[in-house]
Amino acid sequence: MVFTFTIDERPSVLGNLLLMTGTFTNTGVTTGGDIALATHLSKAVAAGANGSAAGLTDTEIDIAVNSTLTLVTAAGLDGTWWALGKR
């Protein structure tokens, strides 16, 4: 199966920053994927993720220049993510 994600359509504004949230589904043996935020953020400055299964909560997030989050997780882990950045 494939890594998929959703973006909550109700972002929060914190001063001059935008807080984006959503979920990810990581079925089978897939160990992560990309979350494209370039249409929402010009620059992501911080991000995080939480797994929904006990014992499988390890996540790594890399933020690219084009506001793409690369989420690396344990296989079969679903959960939530967040990103804070400039519009």
Burial class (CB within 10 angstroms; exposed 0-12, middle 13-18, buried 19+) of 68: middle
| Structural domain count of the chain | 1
- How does the average pLDDT of the chain come out, rounded? 83
How many alpha carbons lie under 13 Å from residue 85 in its C-beta half-sphere? Answer: 25
User: pLDDT value at position 49?
Assistant: 87
User: pLDDT value at position 55?
Assistant: 55
Read off the amino acid at residue 76.
G
What CATH number does the domain containing 30 carry? 2.60.40.3940
Q: Tokens 């390890």, residue?
A: 58
Domain that holds residue 9: 3-86
Give 23-64 pLDDT, tens digit per residue.
Answer: 988 877 777 888 888 888 998 889 888 887 765 556 677 787
Q: Which residues pair with 50 in a beta bridge?
A: 80
In the predicted structure, residue 17 carries a pLDDT above the cut 90: yes
Q: How many CB atoms lie under 10 A from the CB of residue 10?
A: 7
Q: Chain-centre distance of CA 62, in angstroms?
A: 10
User: pLDDT value at position 23?
Assistant: 92
Instruction: Tell if the pTM clears 0.85, that is, is over it.
Output: no
